[in-house]
Amino acid sequence: MFRNREIQLLLLTLCTISLIVAGATAAALSVQAALFVIVTAVLLISCSLLFTTWRYKEIEKLSAYLRQISSGDYSLDIRDNHEGELSILKNDMYKVTLMLSEHRSLLESDKITLTDAISDISHQLKTPLTSMMVMADLVSDPDLDESKRGEFTQNIRVQLERIEWLVTSLLKLSKIDAGTASFKKEKVYVTDMVQKAVEPVLIPIDIKEQQLTVTGEETVTFLGDFNWTAEAVLNILKNCVEHTEEGGVIHISFSENTLFTELTIKDTGKGIPKEDLPYIFKRFYKGKNAEDDSVGIGLAMAYSIVTSQNGDIEVSSNHEEGTQFAIKFYKRVI
């Protein structure tokens, strides 16, 4: 403590004042009075030193606490419910410690998410890349028949398109998981959003001679992101088209009340097995009725997009009767 300059100055000042007062007292009154002044001054200086020593020990404890925090240990609790500036300082330091702890947890979570995303992308790219390498070797054969060469070249093109779709979809999912995807909060007319979502599946619907019906008031709206929501609906529609037989029906309806806006998509397909229903929104999950080239990303992305906008998806399905997806966008946070 005595190595501190302010303590040295304080002691020097107190001693100087005490000696001056003692000298003045001796001159004005008597030596006994001067001794009394000196004894009183020594007692006051001692009390001041004791108090200052206690305060410096408290500061030393806080310094040790900060060193502990800087080393990554957030377990120490220094909350102090007493009055005073020192207690306020302890409580403020404890609040900052909690914020740092939460921040570190978020960073660790982001790190795990990034690692998982990279692992997912790597795993999903292995199959098409391996297939392309095999076909590239076959195409390089100078004795290969022209018709086979064209077939292999087309297969390579299909695999390239698949890789592009995979990378794009997984990057979007990663952005949503990491919370870096920006969702607008604008007034979305469901009629316009559904029209945009339906356009990419019109050709597959036409090829399978399926019937698509849409019912709902043009005034129905919700607060969300137009493009992201259209992508979520498109992924669900793709799933319905794939799992509905030729000549089947896909029906879209929407309505609005004071609590939420609801959009339902129903098909007349073969349905989803009950044991698959709890897992269909999980990434890379492939149910019993999944196509061979299915990856299991579309419904997972639809779920992430909707739930990131204060929405929810419910699914119900009956064997050979069809599946219904009910999307709700709540008007208030619940």
Pairing relationship of beta strands 249-256 and 260-267 according to DSSP bridges: antiparallel
Tell me phi and psi for residue 185, to 5 degrees.
-120, 80
Straight-line distance from the first to the last Cα atom of the chain, in angstroms, rounded to the nearest whole number: 57
Note the pTM of the prediction, 2 decimals. 0.63
pLDDT digit string, tens, across residues 33-85? 889 989 999 999 999 889 888 888 888 888 888 888 888 777 777 777 777 78
Neighbours of 226 (CB within 10 A): 15
Handedness of CA 238, 242, 247, 253 (dihedral sign): negative
Asked if the model's pLDDT at residue 334 lies above 60, the reply is no
pLDDT digit string, tens, across residues 178-221? 777 888 889 999 999 999 999 999 999 999 999 999 999 999 99
pLDDT digit string, tens, across residues 285-317? 777 767 666 667 889 889 999 998 989 999 999
pLDDT digit string, tens, across residues 83-123? 778 888 888 888 888 888 888 888 888 788 777 767 777 77
The CA-CA-CA angle for residues 216, 219, 220, to 5°, reads 60
